[in-house]
Structure 1
Amino acid sequence: MRDGTSKGSHPAPRNDAAKQHFAKLAELGIELETHERKKMKQYLLEKESEQEHSNDSENEKEKSLLADNQT
């Protein structure tokens, strides 16, 4: 027998509680991270890491050239 609810549906009080929770967060000025924002942060971290690696390589080349010039 069916009780009028479909599998996976939430009762109204739970939805109301969620709406109140998110409204409270918004009042406090708390931004929720979106999937897009997370992807952008990851992209920027990767770019920063690549830049640091590139700088390290350039520093090693300079040190190598200096060492060759001193000998």
Structure 2
Amino acid sequence: MPLRTRILEEGMPGDILFVQGDFGATCAMARWASSRGLVPVYATTKRRAIEKVEGDRVTTTRVFEHVRFRVYETIE
């Protein structure tokens, strides 16, 4: 079943839809969802890099922490 068909069958106006991924597809899906009364959102993160030095070796660990969901703004 195509994704949009399933969303229309199971979603109701005001429902929140998490939309994230390929830039072009994400923009199209957020616009489509918004036009049908859904609330498209995306996740924002806090990113940190932690470096550990041991002699001549450096190990970098990247930490991504969820901050919040944001609603896509509509552009008219």
Q: Same fold (TM over 0.5)?
A: no
The bucket for the TM-score relative to the shorter chain is: under 0.3
Structure with the greater relative contact order (CA < 8 A, sep ≥ 6): 1 or 2? 2
Of the two, which has the highest radius of gyration?
1
Q: TM-score, normalised by structure 1?
A: 0.23
The structure with the largest helix share of the pair is 1
Q: TM-score, normalised by structure 2?
A: 0.23
The structure with the largest strand share of the pair is 2
